[in-house]
A and B are shown apart, each in its own frame.
Chain A
Amino acid sequence: EAGVVQSPRYKIIEKKQPVAFWCNPISGHNTLYWYRQNLGQGPELLIRYENEEAVDDSQLPKDRFSAERLKGVDSTLKIQPAELGDSAVYLCASSLGLADQETQYFGPGTRLLVL
C-alpha cells in the first residue's frame, strides 16, 4: 500500500514569491492534515479536512495561506506571498476518519527555504 505522497520534496524561493505544496493521501483516507514543522520543533497543525470540508483551520494564517481539497482526495497548500519566517517543513498526514484519528500517517514532507 502506497503511503502519503508529497511534492515537491524541496523548494527554494525568494520572499514575496508564491509557492504551492501538493499532497496525495492514502487511498480511502477521509481525513487529511497539514502541519508545519519549524526547525527544532514538533509539528503544529495548520488545517484539517474531513473529505472536502475544512473542519479545523484555526491555526492557518489566512492572510497568506490557503488550502483546498477538491473532490476530497488530493490537497494543495499555498502561500502567497512567502515570508522569511515561512521557512519550515510542511507535512501532510491522513487517517481513515474521526474514529481512527489517532493513527495519522505522515508523508515525508516538503522542506521550504525562503531567501
Chain B
Amino acid sequence: GNSVTQMEGPVTLSEEAFLTINCTYTATGYPSLFWYVQYPGEGLQLLLKATKADDKGSNKGFEATYRKETTSFHLEKGSVQVSDSAVYFCALRTGANSKLTFGKGITLSVRP
C-alpha cells in the first residue's frame, strides 16, 4: 500500500536559517506529491505540489523536487521566518480517484 515517511520532529530554527524537511514515500504507480501546512488554529492548506518525476513545486519561498530515483520529496526554504512556524505534512495520491495519504507531520518552530 501507499505510505509516507517524514523525519522526526520537532524542528527548531533561528530566523533566516536554512530549512530542510525530509519526506520519502512508498507507492504503487506514479503518485502526485504534496506538502500541506497547518498554521496554529487554522485548517490544513496546500503549500505546493508536484505531479511527475523531476517536477519542482514552489510557493512562498518553499521548494520541493519530485525525485523518483530516491522516492523523495524534501521540503526546503533558504531563509525561514517566524511566520513559518507551523506543522508541515507530506502527502501523496495515486490515480484520479484515490485518497490522499499523509505522513505524520512535523512541527517547525522559528525563533526570532
Contacts and interface: CB of A to CB of B under 8 A. Distances in A.
B32 A102 contact: yes
A105 B44 CA distance: 7
Interface stretch (B58-66, B67-75, B76-84, B98-106): B98-106
B43 A104 contact: no
A91 B4 contact: no
A43 B44 contact: yes
B46 A3 contact: no
A42 B102 contact: yes
Given A98-B96, A98-B97, A102-B93, A42 B103 contact: yes
12 contacts: A42-B4, A42-B89, A42-B104, A42-B105, A43-B100, A45-B100, A48-B99, A102-B49, A104-B46, A104-B100, A106-B45, A108-B42
